[in-house]
Amino acid sequence: LKYLKRSLLLAYETENIGLASFAFNTISNTFEEQGRYDSALVYYKSFNNFSDSLDEAKYNERIAELEVQFRTEENEKELAQKEAELTQEQLKVKRRSWTTGIFGLLFFSISFISILFIRQQKIKRENLIKEKDLKLKLASAELENKIHQEKERISRDLHDNVGSQITNL
């Protein structure tokens, strides 16, 4: 009993509930074997209190573990949800980028084709203007040629008429 009571004091000093519970139980059993039921009852009640304290400590520890696990799961769930939202946002950004890229490429292509078409039309107009100028010059040259031929004919006729009249005279 002397050593058990010392271990009980050590258990209080070190706050070792398991050792205190064991010491109370053993002391209670020892008093019971000695027939000192009143002391056995006192130590048995202390043993029950410490057992309850031990059970309560284990229960509280288990509750704390479950709370940590619950919080961890909640945090993981929230993290997974945030990751899913982030993935959706990234997908939206990619879609916008692709859409913008396609519209940009389409705009560039249409602009390039329009510039080529306008340039082709400008070249056609310039060619038509040159062709008209050439036709006008050709028509002018033909007209001058006809005028020159007519002048030659008139001049021959005059020359022949003047020569024949002189001959007749």
> Does residue 144 carry a pLDDT above 90?
yes
Among 7-21, 32-46, 94-108, the range scoring the smallest mean pLDDT is 7-21
Instruction: Enumerate the H helices of 15-36 as residue ranges.
Output: 17-34
Distance (Å, rounded) from C-alpha 64 to C-alpha 85? 31
- Rounded to the nearest angstrom, the gap between the alpha carbon of residue 88 and the centroid of all alpha carbons in its chain is 7
Distance (Å, rounded) from C-alpha 83 to C-alpha 17? 46
- pLDDT tens for each residue of 68-83: 999 999 999 999 999 9
- What band does 28 get if pLDDT is binned at 50, 70 and 90? confident
Joined tokens for residue 158: 């005059």
16 DSSP assignment: -
Distance (Å, rounded) from C-alpha 89 to C-alpha 131? 62
- pLDDT tens for each residue of 118-143: 999 999 999 999 999 999 999 999 99
> Does residue 22 carry a pLDDT above 90?
no
3-state secondary structure (DSSP) of residue 94: helix
47 exposed, middle or buried (CB, 10 Å; 0-12, 13-18, 19+)?
A: buried
What phi, psi does 97 have (nearest 5°)? -65, -45
- pLDDT tens for each residue of 49-75: 777 776 777 788 888 898 999 999 999
Closest C-alpha among 35, 21, 24, 17 to residue 1: 24
pLDDT for 162 equals 64
| The total number of residues written for the chain in this structure | 169
pLDDT for 87 equals 94
